[in-house]
Each structure stands twice: as C-alpha cells, then as structure tokens.
Amino acid sequence: MAEVAIGIDLGTSNSCVAIARPDGVEVIPNAFGENTSASVVAFHEGGKITVGNAAKAQIIHSPGRTVYSSKRLIGRYFFSEEVKKAQAICSYRIVEGPNHSVRLQVADQQYSLPEISAMILREMKQVAEAHLGHEVTKAVVTVPAYFNDNQRQATKDAGRIAGLEVLRILNEPTAAALSYGFGKGLTQKVAVYDLGGGTFDISVLEIGTDVFEVLSTCGDTFLGGDDFDDRLIDLLADEFSRTHGVNLRKDPFAFEKLKVAAETAKKNLSIDDEVEIRIPDIAKNDAGESLSLERQVAHDEFASLVMDLVMRTFKVCDEALQQANLTVRDLDGVILVGGPTRLPLIRSAVGDYFQKVPKTDVDPDEVVAMGASIHASSLIQPEQNAFLLDVTPLSLRIGVAGGLAETVIERNTPVPIEQTRTFTTFQDYQERVKIRVYQGESRQAEENELLGQFEFAGFRKARRGEVEIDVTFAIDSDGLVKVTACDRATGQQASTEITLSSGLSDEEIENIIERGDTERVHTPSLDDSAELPVPAPTPPPVAAAAPPPAASEPPPPVAAAAPVAQAATPPAGPAGDEIVTLDEPGDDLADDDELELVAGVETPPAEMHKQALEVEDEGAPEDPVPLEGRPAPETPAVEPSAPTAEASEPVESLAGDDVTEEYLGEAGTDLSQYYDDSEKS
Amino acid sequence: MSDVLAPTEILALANILDELDYYQVLHIRPDASASAVRSAFHQSSRAFHPDSNRHLDADHRQAIGRISKRITEAYTVLRDPRRRRAYDEALRGGRTRMQIAEAEAGARQQATDELEGKTPNGRRYSAMARTDVARGDLAAAVRNLQTALTFEPANAHFKTKLQELKGQLEEERRKKRPAPF
C-alpha cells in the first residue's frame, strides 16, 4: 500500500481532516457523517475522553470537565492577556504550570495545552483511520498564519504526542489558496480572508502554474467568530440583568446555555434574516421563580453589534496589501475561509472592501483541511508537486540594551531564511551575554512575544565593544526558529545552538506520551458500534513516575542531550549543556547590565574592515560623545560609514542606557527628523 | 538553472556560496528585470527547496538548506528596487552578501540622501529651501535649491523639486502682474 499522509485543520472551534488522492481530495467524515468535528475535549468520569460534537454537548452538563477553544491558549504564557481573558470566560480551570506555561486542571489531573490539542489530533487521526481502514502516521497540520514560533512549536509537539509525524506546519490561508488554485493552471493574485473562531488572518498570494508564492500575511490573533458570539452574549446578559436583576455570568450552567444559544443564533443568521433565541428556565430570581430568556435578533441588529470588529479586519487587510505593495484592484479574487465568513454581513463587507464578489465555491470550513491534504500528498510524492513559498508573519528580534528589541528578520520575509547580525559586549571584560529572542512588531522588547533566551559564554574577554558576537537567526519552512550565537573574532567555534522551546521539554513530551492520556480518546466508529480497543485509563501519574520497563517505541529523537536519568529531576531544568531558561520573561530586562547586548557592527564578517576604510570625511552629524573615563571602542564598532543609522553613531550607543535608547530609537524611520535637527542646531 | 543537480554539485555549490553574488545565486544577469528576478527565484527555489529534497542524506539536506536560504536572501534583496540599488553599490565595492536589514537601511539612507542631500552643503541649502517654502518665499526657495544643486548636481529630487518651485513662482508672478487691457 502506498504511503499516505493526511491534512488536518486544527481549528479553534472545529477541526477537519482530509486526504488527497490522485482522483481528488476527500474530506473525511466522522462516524456521525459530519465533515467537521468540534474542537472540544470532554473528560468523562471513569477516564474516557471524547472529542467532537458529542463532547461539545457536554459543556452544559459538566462545564468544568469540558475543554473548548483551547487553541486560544496554546503556546502562550500564563501571564499573557489572552490567558487572562480566557480565565474570565472559560468554565474549565486554567492554572499555571512550570516556566509560566498554561495548564488545564480537569478533576484531579493537569494537562498541558499540547496534550489537549493532541487529543483533538488523535481524534482526527482515528476518524481518518476508521475511514481508510489502515493506520495513518503522517500529517500536515495547519495553524493561523499569524501564529508565533511558540504556538507553532506547541502545535508540532501536539502532533508528536498524538502519534503523528507532522510533515509540515502549514499556514491556514496558504492551505486555502492551495485548495483553491491547485492543478487549475491559474495565474492570479488572490487574497485569502480567513476569519476563524478565534483568529483572523489575511494573506495575499500570487498563484502561478505550479508555484504558490505568499506575498504578505497579516493577522490578529485576538479576533474571531467567538468575539462575535461574545457581543451577542453581552447584549443578552446585560438585558437579562436589567430586566430580572439576575447576572447570568455568575451561574456557569446558565452562562454555558447562553453561549450555546448565542452561537446557534449567530450561525442561523447566516441563513435567516431573523432568529429567535429562547432559553426556558435559564435561571431563578431571588424569590425562587424560574426565569426564561426570549429575544428576537435581526441580522441587521447583529450586524451593528459586530461591525466594528469587521472593520478591524479591514485595517489588517490594508496592512497586508501595503506589505505586498498592491492595491485591491491588483487582485483577481478573494477566497473566504472560516465559518463566520458565511454571515451575509461579512460577505457583503468583504465584497465592498475588495470590490469583487468573494469566491464561495469551496466550503469555508473544509477548504483549509483540503489544502493541507494536497500539500501532505505532495510532500510524500515530491515528483508531483506544486511548491509553496511562504513568508514569516512576524518580525524576529533580539533584545538589546535599554529594553529594546532590534529586528533581525523583518516580517513578511520569505522563508526559509537565515540572517546574521553582529553584536558587541556592553561591559569591559564581560564573560557572558544573555540572548533574548522576540517575535513581534514593537521596538519595546516587552511588547513582543518572548520566544526564549539563552546565555552565551566562553568568548574572548576584552574591553566592551571589542568582542563581536554573530547572532544568526534561521527560520525553516515550518516557520520554526533557530538561533545560534558565535564569537567570530577568535575563530573559536564556541557556539550555542538552541531550538526554542514551547515550554515542554523533550522529556516532558516523552512522559506525556508514556502516560498515554491521548490514547483514551474514544472515537466512535460506524461499522462497529462496539468499543474500539481503548487502553484502560492509566492512574494519574505520581509526579515522577519511573518509566515502564517495556518502554513503548520512543519518539523520534530531537536535538541531542543524552538520555538524562528519567524524570528524576523536575523536567523544567535545562538538559545537558544547553542553557535554555524561560524564567521571568519580560520583567527581568534590567536585572543585570552585564548580560546586555548592544547593537554595534552591522556588517558581515568579511566586509567589516573593508567598510571601515571607506569612512567619509563628513563624519556623523554630531560628534560622538566620548565615554567618561573609558576609551572609545576601536574602529570596527565605531564604523561611521556603515549604511545603517545605528552604525553611524555607535559610540553613543555604548555611553549608557538612556543614550542608547535614543540612538536606537532612530534606527527606524525617523532619519529625516534627525538631519533636520542637526542642521538647525 | 537546470532542475536537478547531482549530489556532488550540491555540496560544491554550498561550499562556494559566499563567493557568489546574488545575481549568480539566482542565475541571472545583473541587469535582469524585476519579473526575471522573480521567475529565477521560483526556478531556483524549485530546484533547492527543502521540500523537494527530502530523500537526500543529512549532509546534502544541510547543503540544500544553506543554498535555499541564500536564494531567499538574494530574492528578498533584489526584488525591492531600493534595496537592489543599495546592494549594487555594495557589490561594486566588492561585497557579495548583504544582510537584508542592512540593505533596507542602505535603501532608506539612499532615499534620505536623495530627498535631503548627501553633502553637508546640499543638506543645508535644501533645508533652507524647505523653510523658505514653508514661509511662502518661493524666490528664495528657488535660489537656495539652485545652490544646493551646485553641490549635488546629480540629485534628481533636487532637480524635479526645483522645476516645480520655478513653475509655482512663475504662476505666482503671473497672478500678481496687473491684467493687461
């Protein structure tokens, strides 16, 4: 039998699995004949786990044991905004795990987010296996284009936990474009408008006969169909509170009923002009009387509730078009992705914005999984490929002195790519530097997502500004990031390489796999109503359980680190000689200058001295400020002729934090201002 | 570029990568058009995309990875006319490689130079011309910009701006002139 690989759209609200075969792409229905399954995981008494639409029905009965919209939390830190927001509205318990990670507390057990996603992936895998009649081990899994590296890593980990080899983490809009344009011999520029349950993405692509080039992608991970529901929920809850004096938000059962009703109403508004919401006996008042909620909602009223959210999506579209250097008139088509795009108000607003009727020939709930399956099949059969050229959605930055973050790879740069920038030490005879890696669009380090940090030591000790450290950032085709630091002047290969972590170490992942919770996912099957062989639920593990003697097949080795004594130490600790710490991200920026990096030399190794010789007589507009009592760094770091704004005055950069900030601040766009000032003075 | 390279050629290419300029990396002439840059990128990516080389061993895959990253880098610099100009200048100085951020900064610097002048006197007189425009003295603005141009005769922005100002000045004078009978 030929090797097969499936495509899985792991959505915030719903997931979908498809397979591409020579005779076409097929969306695989579950045992109930549904093409999509709710991304909801229900933990039943007795250990059984179910996923899908039946699990979703559990929300009302056991809100604390039913996990939904978990994609909003994957790859996030516990202190992030999104987690706080989720804590306020979710009925399951969100707790803090090691390294500021997020854990979900269900009954007496804690689960990491990759585990929850793994359960959904396991369900999709089993749905495919039941349909195909054989095992499936390979998949392409999609993520929102705007997912950062932490979120991508966590998704990849989820695949591994679910027993899948993830061939590629593919961006959802790219998958949709593939599904739309594959094999049609098109030459078009298209926009993919992807409004999902929890995220909004827009990608602009150029489709050629066999190549799909993403020109730009932008998004908002805080905007989705769920926010539309929330607006309706707010309206209903506020009205109810005014009329009856009862706050439905305080009653988890009532609130879940309200949520279900609001979501159903929204969906029906895709078909009908007006819907009636009716929830009998939703709550009791102080007198103990039973109260019901009844409300008519017209499409227009709903539209006015959410129009500002819709407009927010177009701001993002503006940005994407600008990044692609195109206008709406340059586009040949708009593809809609995601359930909420069924709403007439979205369709007409999108039509108005793009000045063309959106393509609706592919089901917006299935188009992503179909595209993923097409890519999956071309990855295992390289001869029949349409190849994808994607971009990185977020700028990759490195933390420098003054709490700032310097761009190393700008957003919307095609991948795979590798870029090196050279940095220097901040103090005399500094022994170590801490390299912090961020993703995001802010010059203020803390406003970006911290991907990870590591210490680099063992380089030549010298006066500040004399040590040159090359920091190389690489992004692979999955959009995953690798960072390497290397002292170049000594020629010594003291480089440290890390793969930034999702918060789960290899060891933790292995423990999770061994614990086998995801194997408790029970997928109903059509042909045999009898239970599938489900392993008996394992007892909740003791903190550091010894591995079973007959260890099941180990997962593929990642990175190195010789097998450390199993889980005897807390898994959070760094393995071997890798120094990967994720403690106190964001708030320890100023803790010790000793570890700061300063942007200094901009030029790559070989050219630097050449550049230094080309110093123009003009010099910098202002004289470099000498450092009190310290010699100014040697030429390479001062380097007035380097074509970057930063490099024109590196001496100031070394004078101290405040000055550094000023000088780094102008690296962006404000050059003209600078020159004006210097002339006036 | 031919579609498939022999494994030994892949390793050889990866080894000499730093000696190749971006045009050589993409197999195009230095005067290639924007669309030629793009289609060369597609062709080269097809040959060296990690996806189409999964069957090779680790060494070769690593070499392919290096090459494909350099191809992307070359494209990212050359596809943008501003960055390409900055790169061309560096290339004339003997450099084959330029980090994208550097090309971008170079492009911005060139744009600023063009807009505001790149010599101290060019900047000074053009700034004075801007101030003149702001306070409505077009004649003085024209004089200052003309002076700026003597320091930077090749500055295209100064030239067009000067033409524009002269036109406005002429217009202004026509309006002030008493209408003939």
Q: Give the number of other CB atoms < 10 A from CB of residue A559.
A: 13
Nearest CA to A342 out of A279, A277, A263, A276 is that of A263
CATH architecture for the domain at A6-223+309-389 = 2-Layer Sandwich (3.30)
Across the interface, whether the CB atoms of B95 and A607 are under 8 A apart is answered yes
Residues 647-666 of A with CB under 8 A from B: none
Answer whether A641 touches B (CB < 8 Å): no
CA B7 to chain A, closest CA, distance in angstroms equals: 17
Please report which helix (H) or strand (E) contains residue B121, including its range. helix B120-134
CATH class of A396-502+580-680: mainly beta
Distance CA A262, CA A239 (A): 14
| Least-confidence region, from A23-27, A115-119, A333-337, B55-59 | B55-59
Q: Is the pLDDT of residue A522 over 90?
A: no
ipTM reported for the complex, 2 dp:
0.73
Which of A388, A421, A606 is closest, CB to CB, to B101?
Answer: A421
Nearest to A267 by CA among A297, A295, A246: A297
A444 is written with which tokens?
């203020």
Q: Is the pLDDT of residue A290 over 70?
A: yes
Segment among A309-318, A319-328, A580-589 with least mean pLDDT: A580-589
> Which of B54, B75, B101 has the CB atom closest to A407's CB atom?
B101
Q: Please report residues of A whose CB lies closer than 8 A to that of B109.
A: 643-645, 671
Q: Which DSSP helix (H) or strand (E) runs through A367?
A: helix A367-380
Of A87-91, A159-163, A403-407, B62-66, give the range with the top mean pLDDT: A159-163
**CB distance from A671 to chain B under 8 Å?**
yes
Mean pLDDT of chain B: 87
**Among A76-80, A334-338, B1-5, B165-169, where is mean pLDDT lowest?**
B1-5
In this predicted structure, the answer to whether residue A623 has a pLDDT above a threshold of 50 is no
Is the model's pLDDT at A541 over the cut of 90? no
How do the domains of chain A map onto residue ranges?
Answer: 6-223+309-389, 225-305, 396-502+580-680
Residue B32: is its pLDDT beyond 50?
yes
**Binding-face residues of A in 141-200 toward B, CB within 8 A:** 168
What's the whole-number mean pLDDT along residues A287-291?
A: 89
pLDDT of residue A212 exceeding 80? yes
Q: What is the pLDDT of residue B175?
A: 82
pLDDT at residue A102 is higher than 90 = yes
CA distance linking residue A456 with residue A487, whole number of Å: 9
pLDDT of residue A646 exceeding 60, the answer is no
* pLDDT score of A498: 53
Lowest mean pLDDT among A303-317, B67-81, B108-122: B108-122
Residue range B100-116: mean pLDDT, rounded: 82
User: Is the confidence at residue A184, as pLDDT, over 60?
Assistant: yes
pLDDT band at A608 (very low <50, low <70, confident <90, very high): very low
pLDDT of residue A418 exceeding 90: yes
Is the Cβ–Cβ distance between A494 and A458 less than 8 Å?
Answer: yes
pLDDT at A525: 66
Domain A6-223+309-389 identical in fold to domain A396-502+580-680: no
Around Cβ A571, how many Cβ atoms within 10 Å? 20
| Residue A203, pLDDT score | 96
The per-residue pLDDT of chain A, averaged, comes to 77
Q: How far is A205 from chain B (nearest CA, A)?
A: 14
Q: Is the pLDDT of residue A371 over 80?
A: yes
What count of CB pairs under 8 Å joins A to B? 116
Residue A505 has a pLDDT of 79
pLDDT digits (tens, 9 = 90+) for B73-92: 999 999 999 899 999 999 99
Minimal Cα distance from A602: which residue of B?
B102
pLDDT of residue A337: 94
Q: What is the pLDDT of residues B147-157, one digit of tens each?
A: 999 998 888 88
- Picking from A52-66, A288-302, A401-415, A643-657, which range would have the lowest pLDDT averaged per residue? A643-657
**Inter-CA distances, A115 with A54, A70, B136, Å:** 20, 10, 69
**Catalytic residue set of A:** 9, 71, 172, 194
Percentage of chain A lying above the pLDDT 90 cut: 47
* Average confidence (pLDDT) over A483-490: 80
Q: What is A379-396 written as a DSSP string?
A: HHSGGG--EEE-B-SS-E
Write out pLDDT tens, residues A330-364.
999 999 999 999 999 999 999 999 999 998 888 99
- Does the beta-carbon distance from B102 to A603 stay under 8 Å? yes
> What chain A residue is nearest to B104 in terms of C-alpha separation?
A644
Distance from C-alpha of A592 to C-alpha of A431, rounded to nearest angstrom: 13
Residues 370-399 of A with CB under 8 A from B: 378-379, 382, 385, 387-389
Alpha-carbon distance B181 to B179, whole Å?
Answer: 7
pLDDT at A278 over 50: yes
Band (pLDDT 50/70/90 cuts) for residue A527 is low
pLDDT at A199: 87
Higher-scoring residue by pLDDT: A455, A227: A227
Residue written as tokens 């005897």?
A: A568
> Which H/E stretch holds residue A176?
helix A172-181
From the list B98, B102, B112, which residue is nearest A671 (CB)?
Answer: B112
Most confident among A94-98, A576-580, A623-627 (mean pLDDT)? A94-98
Question: Given this model, what pLDDT does residue A286 score?
Answer: 86
Predicted pLDDT at A499: 52
Q: What pLDDT is stored for residue A624 in this prediction? A: 29
Average pLDDT over residues A451-480: 83
User: Out of A378, A416, A606, whose CB is closest to B72?
Assistant: A416
Place of tokens 């190549």: A211
What span, in angstroms and rounded, lies between the C-alpha atoms of B72 and B50? 12
CB A344 within 8 A of CB A300: no
Which one of A25-29, A416-420, B16-20, B121-125 scores highest in mean pLDDT? A25-29
pLDDT at B133 over 80: yes
**Superfamily covering domain A225-305:** ATPase, substrate binding domain, subdomain 4 (3.90.640.10)
Choice among A20-24, A248-252, A456-460 with the minimum mean pLDDT: A456-460
Q: How far is A672 from chain B (nearest CA, A)?
A: 7
> Chain-centre distance of CA B64, in angstroms?
28
pLDDT tens digit sequence for A561-570: 333 333 333 3
pLDDT band of residue A503 (cuts 50, 70, 90) is: low
Residue of B nearest to A422 (CA): B99
